[in-house]
Amino acid sequence: MMAEVMANIQHTPEKSYYYNTKIIGDVLKMQQLLNNHILGDILVLKGVNAYYGKNLDDVYFSFKEAYKNFSEGKTTRYWIKKNLLEENIQYTFTVLGIYKTGYDLSFLPVECRQPLALFENEQFKASGIQRTSDLHLNLPLI
């Protein structure tokens, strides 16, 4: 199911936003039962999907909870996932204006609490292996 959502986000992110939202909700319900330590990955996927739907609250809260999850080391390769998530946070929070809206950013390290400069934002490319087709966001490592 997550692979299907990732494929949708890579090819038709805006068009498949509502469908992906439903699937991600179902996956989150299953995760509560299974508790197999992929909650952070699911939340990253939810946040990336929310970015393409321009849903600021879902971007913020999904990435915040994923960041907490990765920071606690509750998943495999958490240090890599946390770094890739920081890229997603800086890009999406800059583009969507989240830095200016009063959301609490205290969960982030100081270097991630500032928006990207305009030049950086225009030239930005995510550094992960699995990325969105526009190359701006990292997808979960699953």
What confidence score (pLDDT) does residue 37 get? 79
Angle between helices 78-96 and 56-71 (to 10 degrees): 160
pTM of the predicted structure, to 2 decimals: 0.93
pLDDT one-digit tens code per residue, 18-43: 999 999 999 999 988 888 878 999 99
Confidence bin at 79 (pLDDT 50/70/90):
confident
Least confident of 33-37, 53-57, 103-107: 33-37
What confidence score (pLDDT) does residue 116 get? 82
Confidence bin at 118 (pLDDT 50/70/90):
low
β strands within the chain, DSSP E: none
